[in-house]
Structure 1
Amino acid sequence: MVLSDERQPAEPLSARLKNATREEHERTESAPFVAALLDGRLHRDAYTALLGQSYLFYRVLEEAGEAWRGDAVVGPFVSDDLVRCGALEADLEWLAGPGWREGLDPLPATRRYADRLRAVCFDSASAFLAHHYTRYLGDLSGGQIIRRRLRSVYDLTTDGVRFYVFDRVAKPKLFKDRYRELLDGLPWDAHEQENLLAEANEAFRLNRGVFDDLGKALEVGWTGSRSA
């Protein structure tokens, strides 16, 4: 065997991030609430409830994005093409009517999620980017599969699934490739990179907590006929 003193090239940060979060990502995707919703085993109100809870934490994340917009390092990740609050508002008004904000209270897990975003995303660039990555790249990737499935099982058209429609991203693959290039070019030391990886895993756990609370609140085991 020939030994070489040449160091192998370091794994790109984007690849490290994907690999480091794979397990938590898969656990979140397989949450019972998600499976029941995509199978059409829940009333459409369950989907409306998910959007409502999502709105509460996206609002905080996008406030943090505005705070970082002018930053030389993190600012390039902040894009108007990604913001979701407007789409969530449109979906919720279409699904629940103009009074959808009335009674929109955070579940305990949603409150923990929003509190975490407030605690770390306005002061830590790596923490902000961890949550930004887990939300928006997920929306651009698996979220598109979810959109097609929801349209099918709950008889929706564009109305009701605008949250998953990125009108301003003409070519999602190119957009995601550029995002990963930005990740790989970050001038962060090992400590900051490790914080990014750890916080991204925390983001998936917080998201899974919301699914779990929704499952408890909405009785995931219910098997009655769905309603459009």
Structure 2
Amino acid sequence: MIVAPYMLKAFLCSVGLTWMRSRSPGAGISRSWARALPCKPSPAGVAAVVGTAAVPPCCFLQQGQLSLRGGLRVPPCAFSTLGWWMVGIPPDTAGTSSVGLRAERSPVFACSPMDLSELLKEGTKESHDRAENTQFVKDFLKGRIKKELFKLATVALYFTYSALEEEMDHNKDNPLFAPLYFPVELHRREALAKDLKYFYGEDWKEKIQCSEATQQYVDRIHHVGQHEPELLVAHAYTRYMGDLSGGQVLKKVAQRALKLPSTEEGIQFYVFDNISNAQQFKQLYRARMNALDLDKNTKERIVEEANKAFRFNMQVFDELDKVGRSLGEEAQDGGVPVHDGKGDIRKCPYYADKLGTAGPSCPFHAAVGLARQPLVQLVLAACMAVAAGAAAWYIL
């Protein structure tokens, strides 16, 4: 019975560690704590300049600033000392990352309900739900994608990104868009050209054409870039944030379902060589969005435009689905491919599906995913402690 107190201590330690782990910044709790903390005003005279754009400083909880590419400085949003995020570099490292950004002070920022990123998240939920339930997206995520259809989808993306990045280049010095201009890290046109060359050959430009639904999308992007450039934010956010989230799941699905080379030919669109950590880059991107000097009316228009972007994407999906039904059946490697789960499909603005109907493709991966749940860990820790106590009692 002498061992019993030690077993009790071990049990309490296990419970405590499990609780602390479930409340760690990586689990997302630091953001909710940071929201509850009081926010002090920014020190007088602090301002940030991004390109030629004067960006008003965010409020913050302690001294700190984030130094960005080219010596440009942007004060962080409200943050707590409960955790840090580094732009493309490990938490215990300082220096320049592969995305070309240097983090001197790395805040875990707390967003206000009136921040543009929060307004977009809440204001596009309904469109997101409709987009994720289009037949094309559901079939894609289940691995039921024909090669010819995937090629046509790549063509649609090529024309879409060519238009978007052309207008972004034209507006790179516009103060209402300049902070979100990341050509080295984000632009997809060249990657899509490589994919089309792989699928269609050297003369790929002569073999592709813009579909009707894609052309409507392209026309809208050009109109926005030329007449309402502040709305480019909606199209850039919808496309690139999705590519860095759910797009990484689609990459693995396509690679296995279409039996593409492991050297990533044909899926270069999904490869972001100049972003070493997608999650941290997305945090930076949202922080810059929230720092844009926009009034309430402009923010509402951006949310409305993001919903239009969803609709254009859904029209393209429906068009592809109709084409897919007309294509002959091809041999497919059915089912969702096994992947590491790092792509957060729930945060993809347009390519998303709950994946609930397909179920896990591997029992081991399902077990690992279940074991990562805090409640399951707590129960396991309790069972182990009880078993250890029982064994000690039996021995004594």
- Would you say same fold, with TM above 0.5? yes
Check if 1:155 corresponds to 2:259: yes
Q: Secondary structure at the match of 2:303?
A: helix
Equivalent of 2:290, from 166, 184, 207? Answer: 184
Q: Alpha-carbon deviations, 1:39-58, whole Å to 9, x = none?
A: 33332111111001110111
Corresponding position of 1:26: 129
Aligned partner letter, 2:267: V
Equivalent residue letter for 2:214:
T
Letter in 1 for 2:138: A
Which shifted more, 206-215 or 37-46?
A: 37-46
Which residue does 1:142 correspond to in 2? 246
Q: Relative contact order (alpha carbons < 8 A, sep ≥ 6): 1 or 2 greater? A: 1
Larger Rg: 2
User: Partners of 1:58 and 1:106 in 2: how far apart?
Assistant: 12
Deviations 1:31-88, CA, capped at 9 Å, x for gaps? 1112223333332111111001110111010001101112233112011210000000
Q: Distance in 2 between matches of 1:11 and 1:75?
A: 21
CA separation in 2, counterparts of 1:197 and 1:126?
11
- Residues 218 and 11 (structure 1), Cα distance of their counterparts in 2 relative to 1, 3 Å cut: same
Alpha carbons 1:130, 1:200 under 8 Å: kept: yes
Q: Which stretch shifts more, 196-205 or 24-33? A: 24-33
1:120 aligns with 2:229: no
Secondary structure of 1:130's match?
A: helix
Aligned counterpart for 1:44 among listed residues 135, 147, 154: 147
Judge conservation of contact 2:143–2:253 (CA < 8 Å) in 1. Answer: no
**Aligned CA distance change for structure 1 residues 74 and 188 (closer, same or farther; 3 Å):** same
Return the TM-score normalized by structure 1.
Answer: 0.90
- Hey, what does 1:204 align to over in structure 2? 310
The amino acid across from 1:42 in the alignment is I
- Quick one: distance in 2 between partners of 1:16 and 1:72? 20
The unaligned stretches of length 5 or more in structure 2 are 1-111, 334-396
Q: Partner of 2:204: helix, strand, or coil? A: coil
Distance 1:10 1:146 in 2: 31
Q: Distance in 1 between matches of 2:330 and 2:259?
A: 17
CA RMSD in angstroms comes to: 1.8
Aligned with 1:91 (options 186, 195, 206): 195
Aligned to 1:4: none
Equivalent residue in structure 2 for 1:107, among 211, 214, 221: 211
In structure 2, the partner of 1:59 is 162
User: Which structure features the higher share of strand residues?
Assistant: 2
Q: Which deviates the most, 208-217 or 37-46?
A: 37-46
Q: Which amino acid aligns with 1:56?
A: F
- Judged with a 3 Å threshold, the aligned counterparts in structure 2 of structure 1 residues 147 and 186 are, in CA distance, closer, same or farther, namely same
Cα deviation, residue 217, structure 1: 1.9
Share of identical aligned residues, percent?
34
Name the residue aligned to 1:165. 271
TM-score by length of 2: 0.53
Aligned residues between the structures: 219
| 1:119-168 deviations in Å (ceiling 9; x for gaps) | 11233233111001000111011111111111121112311111001000
